[in-house]
Amino acid sequence: GAGVSQTPSNKVTEKGKYVELRCDPISGHTALYWYRQSLGQGPEFLIYFQGTGAADDSGLPNDRFFAVRPEGSVSTLKIQRTERGDSAVYLCASSLTVWERIEDDEQFFGPGTRLTVL
């Protein structure tokens, strides 16, 4: 399968712990997005990468959240000192490019990681 993959599919942790969520985008996709979907809500934008750099991190809720994409492919979303309010499904999406051709900008979503903070 050549879709976006995310690991783990489920993560249960205790309040105060550190977690890492991984996203493997579609091969060749330069743009990568992280969204957070709380129960009963639509996804909310967190951060966007173009290549290795975070081009827009305006959606990160606070400095406990951080994301990297060191080689321009796999990305890791890191959450420090987790809180119960961080419980949500974290979605990753990738697209071929951004704004060069709108047809190339379709975002393909992964299945998400369900994070539960006890």
Partner 1 sequence: AQKVTQAQTEISVVEKEDVTLDCVYETRDTTYYLFWYKQPPSGELVFLIRRNSFDEQNEISGRYSWNFQKSTSSFNFTITASQVVDSAVYFCALSVMGGAQKLVFGQGTRLTINP
List residues near partner 1 by CB under 8 A. 31, 33, 35, 40-45, 48, 50, 55-56, 59, 89, 91, 93, 95, 98-99, 102, 105-112
3-state secondary structure of 72: coil
Between 107 and 116, name the residue whose CB sits nearer to partner 1: 107
Considering the complex, state which of residue 52 and residue 80 has its C-beta at the smaller distance from partner 1: 52
Query: Considering the complex, what minimum distance in angstroms separates the CB of residue 62 from partner 1?
Result: 19
Closest CA to 54 of 72, 28, 79: 72
From the CB of 87, what's the least distance to partner 1, in Å?
Answer: 15
Q: What whole-number distance in Å separates Cα of residue 56 and Cα of residue 2?
A: 26
Residue 115 CB coordination number (10 Å): 21
